[in-house]
Chains A and B, each alone.
Chain A
Amino acid sequence: MTALTGPAAVKAPRPRSGGTRSLRGATAVFLKYLSLVLASAVVLIPLLAILLTSLRTAKEMGSANPLSAPHHWLNFHNYVTAFNDGHMMRALWNTSFILFFSVLGTVLIGSMTAYAIDRFHFPFKRLILGLFLIASLVPSVTTQVATYQIVNNLGAMDTRWAPIMLYMGTDIVSIYIFLQFIRSIPVSLDEAARLDGANSFTIYWRIIVPLLKPAIATVVIIKGVAIYNDFYIPFLYMPDDNLGTISTSLFRFKGPYGAHWEVISAGAALVIIPSLVVFLALQRFIYNGFASGATK
């Protein structure tokens, strides 16, 4: 992340040592880099195997070692098959639709909750805060048996609104992020605006929301990654083929392409590449976002 790290600065006053010490130091440095390189290899080799396989033809598949180079590096045939037959365009549209409305809803709901709780005094405030706190301890994966019935009764089954409502309604972490951030916005700003005749909604919309931008960026990133990668909720609530998201459409490769690993690999690569691009473009925000998201 940043260059100024604590321990790094302390490195200087160390070399006050004899020959054996520096030898030990050299070994330690070697072992350190060895461990880093090994760990990186563990991360990269499975991904590399998929990438190489996705560039092979069906004929090549029989004989090749998974890590050998494909005959033609630019054989994108499998990608075309995966994209068209896997209905990835439709999946991308469905995922984008869900992503847009869920993220928008999460930001509005989270910031409104934080505004109400932090800027007003009202009866049962502690109770309300407690309700949100306890809810964050309930893993949503445990309650799906009953949630399923509720979604069913709401008539939202097999519509894109089912995941949208669930993503908006069960996100306590973003409420915490907003709550934490809103405390650092001075109340005097609200008061000044109120003197100028602003009502509470104007204050929320014109003052609080613009100042919450960093928190909004964090929530958009965390939420965006979570929704793009989520499998469980679309799998349960949108079994319809036409409503496949990125995850469920990829999952459906399993049947028809069971033995065609070159096509499955291309499908997996198609799903991974956007994540990689976003990661490379937004690295710093992503690290900070997840750090503040997980620690609340």
Chain B
Amino acid sequence: MSAPQTAGTRVPALPSPPDDAPGRRPRGRRARPGGGTEPRPRRRTRRSRWFTPWLYLLAPLTLLVVFTYLPVADMISYSFTDWDGISPTRNFVGLDNYTDLFTRPQLFQVFWVSLFYLAGSVVQIAAALYFATILSFNTRLRNLFKGILFFPYLINGVAIGFVFLYFFQPGGTLDSILKAFGVGPHLWLGDPHLVNTSLAGVSVWRFMGLNMVLFLGAIQSIPPQLYEAAALDGASRWQQFRYVIAPSIRPIISLSVILAISGSLSVFEIPFIMTGGSNNSETFVIQTIKLAFNFNKTGLASAAAVVLLAIVLLVTWLQRLLFPDERVEQS
């Protein structure tokens, strides 16, 4: 790490103002000489001493190391111990936590649950794509519709949890609406076969608008000449979508897919608030949090978190590998 370099060499305050040299100043200390009138445009006489950028980076790097890299390193080291999170001693147990993790049946349950959220995000991206496309065409009240569909994203997660706890109550809002269509009541959150579908539905409700706004932004940045050309060639709406819109917003779609995958693996808030993980609705993060803070199994929880982190990084890496940022050229 190069941060200590800065911390070690304490220097009196900020760099002094430059000695007033005429001529163009290079952009930093390694900048090309020449153009200036001084023969040796370097170091001491220059404004930017070597440590100047490090003074600006001191706080950001400290925070980055303390709250991102140190936790990852600690987590990996805890995962090989039987630490309970409190006692001063911990024993090295090798790979025991990992074998324990992969042999417990709950683990597969947890991954099974994230498949519901993954399916939810497929629905979410498809719906977002559809609404972004139709809202980019001439539509009355488009700002109103856009606002309504986006607003859930801005709502507090706990409030959303309560809104849908009430919505899904037995004999509650949803049941009474469905009754009008002749559909019988269901235990939306009480039925272990239904609960994850309901919760994934809440997640779609919450995040669809964000995807839509992102897609809409990308669609609106397509130069209008492309549509004109397509229209002149007699392209139908579907063909316009297929050959003009879709290729242009491919980067943002691929970004949304990757966020959807890592998002479905690390779902926490909605199920935690609504069901607390009961009834088969426990997700990976809820399980990890419970292991760490309710059962004091910091070692095992760290192993679980390391596995999750590894999967997320793997997925990101695969996506970068499969879809290296292929930007469509838009003249």
Contact = CB atoms under 8 A, between A and B. Distances in A.
Interface of A: 1-2, 4-11, 13-14, 28, 32-33, 35-36, 39-40, 42-47, 49-50, 53, 65-67, 108-110, 112-113, 115-117, 119-125, 127-128, 131-132, 135, 137-150, 165-166, 168-170, 175, 187, 190-191, 194-195, 197-202, 204, 225, 228-232, 236, 246-248, 250-251, 253-254, 261, 264-265, 267-268, 271-272, 275-276, 278-279, 283, 286-288, 290-291, 294-295
Interface stretch (B100-108, B116-124, B129-137, B187-195): B129-137
For chain B, give the interface size range: 35 or more
Contact of A43 (B18, B25, B148, B266): B148
Chain B interface, >50% SS class? helix
In order of increasing CB-CB distance, the 9 nearest A-B pairs are: A169-B63, A169-B67, A121-B28, A116-B56, A120-B53, A121-B30, A146-B71, A146-B74, A291-B217
B273 interface: yes
9 contacts: A33-B139, A40-B145, A109-B59, A135-B68, A149-B298, A169-B68, A230-B157, A251-B158, A295-B214
B166 A7 contact: no
Contact of B16 (A146, A170, A199, A288): A199
Contacts of B59: 108-109, 112
B309 A295 contact: no
A116 B220 contact: no
A65 B173 CA distance: 8
A198 B298 CA distance: 52
Overall SS of chain A's interface = helix
A247 B152 contact: no
Given A39-B148, A147-B67, A225-B154, 17 more contacts: A10-B231, A40-B148, A43-B148, A112-B56, A116-B56, A120-B53, A135-B64, A135-B69, A144-B289, A150-B74, A169-B63, A191-B27, A199-B15, A199-B18, A200-B52, A229-B156, A251-B273
A142 B47 contact: no
B156 A124 contact: no
Interface string B287-318: 01100110000100110010011001100100
